[in-house]
């Protein structure tokens, strides 16, 4: 009997924890009242929503904003392999109950279906713990070949279901 419990107890625990891990993702907006039907429709659309530069996304009490995207000059000593450097300015505010960790490695940039490499010249990329009620701002740079439309995907480590958040980055 005890051996059976040793096998069953961990499985029940895993099922319980996985049921608790739904991530809530929403665009941060001002206060407004809407009808229940409209909320249901918006909720369905937000599952696959792609955000734009300047829009704030709220995930489990954490607000993330890509504030600026622009081509910048590369570091004098480190030439980008593809010719250009795309810099993304990011702000993360922690309104959740727990300390969170954000790092540039949680973000991935794509041109079409091709992943773009991070560029490590110049300033240190965004990385650090953020305590409850605090904010962290920083940059991430990518080695890109040309202007155009990119897709940035962020997978938060502070959620159990690893919901992806996507931004469309237009570079001119």
Could you give the CA distance from residue 48 to residue 82 in angstroms, rounded to a whole number?
Answer: 30
Q: Which fold has domain 23-171?
A: Immunoglobulin-like (2.60.40)
Which strand ranges, in their side-by-side order, compose the sheet holding 25-27? Answer: 25-27, 56-59, 62-72, 84-94, 135-144, 114-118, 107-111, 148-154, 165-171, 50-52
Give 99's pLDDT tier (boundaries 50, 70, 90). very high
pLDDT, position 50: 94
The count of other CB atoms within 10 Å of the CB of residue 155 is 13
Domain boundaries, the chain: 23-171
Cα separation values, 128 from 8, 72, 75, 91, 100, Å: 38, 24, 23, 12, 8
SS3 state of residue 23? coil
pLDDT, position 118: 95
pLDDT, position 18: 41
Give 24's pLDDT tier (boundaries 50, 70, 90). low
Average pLDDT score, the chain:
81
pTM exceeds 0.85? no
């Amino acid at each position: 009997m005890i051996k059976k419990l040793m096998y069953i107890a961990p499985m029940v625990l895993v099922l319980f924890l996985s049921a608790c891990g739904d991530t809530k993702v929403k665009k941060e907006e001002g206060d407004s009242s809407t009808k229940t039907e409209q909320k249901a429709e918006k909720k369905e659309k937000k599952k696959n929503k792609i955000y734009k530069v300047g829009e704030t996304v709220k995930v489990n009490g954490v607000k993330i904003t890509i504030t600026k995207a622009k081509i910048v000059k590369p570091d004098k000593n480190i030439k980008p392999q593809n010719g250009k450097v795309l810099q993304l300015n990011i702000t993360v505010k922690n309104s959740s109950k727990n300390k969170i960790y954000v790092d540039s490695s949680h973000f991935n940039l794509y041109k079409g279906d091709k992943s773009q490499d991070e560029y490590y010249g110049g300033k240190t990329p965004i990385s650090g713990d953020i305590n409850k009620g605090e904010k962290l701002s920083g940059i991430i740079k990518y080695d890109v070949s040309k202007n155009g439309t990119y897709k940035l995907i962020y997978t938060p480590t502070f959620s159990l279901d690893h919901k992806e958040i996507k931004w469309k980055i237009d570079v001119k």
